Amino acid sequence: MLWEVEISPVASEVNREAERVLAEARNLGTDSIKTVHATRSFLVEGPQDAMLLEQIAHNLLADTVVENFTVRQLPATENENDENNLLLNVLFKPGVTDNVAASTQKALASQGIDVTAVSTCRKYTFNNDAKQEDLGLVSKRVLANDAIEQIVQGPLQLNTIGLGSEYEFDLITVPIREMSDGDLEKLSKEGQLYLSLVEMQTIQKQFQELDRDPTDIELETIAQTWSEHCSHKTLAGRIHYVDDQRDLHFENMLKETIFAATMNIRKKLGEEDWCVSVFADNAGIVKFDEKQNVCIKVETHNHPSALEPYGGANTGLGGVIRDPLGTGLGAKPV
C-alpha cells in the first residue's frame, strides 16, 4: 500500500512558504494568482495499517505543537479533488536522491518499522481562477527546479513510488583491445568517457599488455581520474605559446608558472613567509596571528554539469566548506 502523510502549519502559525511563493509570484507579475497555501508530505509505501501511519506521523514526521497532519491512502479518490482550488505537487524526478526520504526510512528502520520506500513532496494550492500561463511561470521560476524536480497537477494518482525491479548485477566487459581508432573515439563519446584518441589508445595498450579487456566500471574510473575536472589537464599540460614577442614552452604550465613563482616568493621571504601550506593539501593555509592560521579554498568549478549546481552536482559552496574540513587535521569553517 501507498500512503501520503500531508503536514501543514496549525491555524495560529504563519505559512511562511506560502507567503514566499505569493510574494515571488507578485514579483513575476502573475496577477491572477491571489491565494497560495503550502504544505509538505511524505509518501510511504509498504505498511498495511493506517493506525501505524498515524503513529509514524505523530512520532516522527510532524511537529504536533505547530503542525497538523492528515493521512490518506493513494491513489487519491475523486472526492478528494477540490474544485475551488488548483493543486500542484512538486516531487523529485525518478533517480534523483531524496536525502530527507532516505533519512526518514533509516529512522523508521531504527524503530523496527520496515517500509518499502519513502519519498517527499511539496504541495501548493492556488485559487482556481489562476491563469495557466501564470501557474506555468511560477512553477518554472518559483516552485520547482526542472533539472531534478517534476510537477504533478491535482491529487496524486500514484500506486507506487518504487523504481522498477530490484537491481541485478550485470558484469559488462568492453572489448577494447581489438578496437580501431574510429571505434575508440566512438566508445569515448557514446560511453561518456570524453577522452582523446591518444588517451583511449593508452588505455587500449595497457589492457593489451594485461591480456584482458576492461570492465565498464574500470573504464569509467580511468575516465573520471583523467577528466579535466579532476586532473586539470589543460592547466598542468604541455604548452607551446607563440606571439609577436614571445615563444614559450612549458612541460607543465602549472608547475612552471604559478607553482614556481609561489615557491620562489616563499623562499625569498624566508622567516617572514606567511604561508603555512601551499599546493600540498585540499586547501591552502596562511598565518593569521601567532596562534591561529586561516584555511582558504577558492572553488574553481561551481557546477560542472551546468544543470544543477546544488542538487547533486555542485562543488561550489560544498567544496569551499568540504576542502578545509579535509585539510590537515581539519579546519573549522567560519
- Same domain for 13 and 135, yes or no, is yes
pTM: 0.59
Residue 21 shares a structural domain with residue 122: yes
Q: What does the pLDDT read at residue 303?
A: 44
Q: Which of 226, 253, 284 is the last residue of a domain?
A: 226
pLDDT digits (tens, 9 = 90+) for 196-240: 999 999 999 999 999 999 999 999 999 999 988 788 888 888 999
Separation of alpha carbons 155 and 121, rounded Å? 12
CA distances, 148 to each of 46, 93, 97, 139, 183 (Å): 25, 6, 9, 13, 33
* Residues 126, 20 share a domain: yes
Domain-embedded: residue 176: no
The answer to whether residues 146 and 8 belong to one domain is yes
264 and 129 together in one domain: no
Q: How far are the Cα atoms of 198, 269, 273, 295, 299 from residue 276, in angstroms, in the given order?
A: 39, 12, 8, 9, 19
- Identify the pLDDT of residue 245: 92
The pLDDT value given to residue 140: 94
The band of 318, judged by pLDDT with boundaries at 50, 70 and 90, is: low
Percent share of the chain, pLDDT over 90: 72
Q: Please write the tens of the pLDDT for every residue from 24-44.
A: 999 999 999 999 999 999 999
- Position 18 in a domain: yes
The per-residue pLDDT for 313 is 46
Q: What is the pLDDT of residues 153-187, one digit of tens each?
A: 999 999 998 765 666 889 999 999 999 999 999 99
Give the residue with greater pLDDT, 82 vs 221.
221
Mean pLDDT over 65-75 rounds to 95
Query: What angle in degrees, to the nearest 10, is found between the helix axes of 197-210 and 181-190?
Result: 110
- What nine digits make up the cell of 189? 563519446
Per-residue pLDDT tens digits for 121-145: 999 999 999 999 999 999 999 999 9
Shared domain for 29 and 141, answered yes or no, is: yes
Report yes or no on 293 lying in a domain: yes
Its domain, for residue 28, covers 2-153
CATH number for the domain harbouring residue 10: 3.30.1280.10
Residue range 233-255: mean pLDDT, rounded: 91
Mean residue pLDDT across the chain? 90
Say what the pLDDT of residue 194 is.
Answer: 92
Residues 196 and 252 in one domain: no
Per-residue pLDDT, averaged over 150-155, amounts to 94
Q: What is the domain count for the chain?
A: 3
In this model, does residue 22 exceed pLDDT 70? Answer: yes
- 33 and 82 housed in the same domain: yes
Is the same domain home to 188 and 112? no
Q: Are residues 185 and 243 in the same domain?
A: no
The C-alpha atoms of residue 321 and residue 129 are separated, in whole angstroms, by 46
Asked if 199 and 70 sit in the same domain, the reply is no
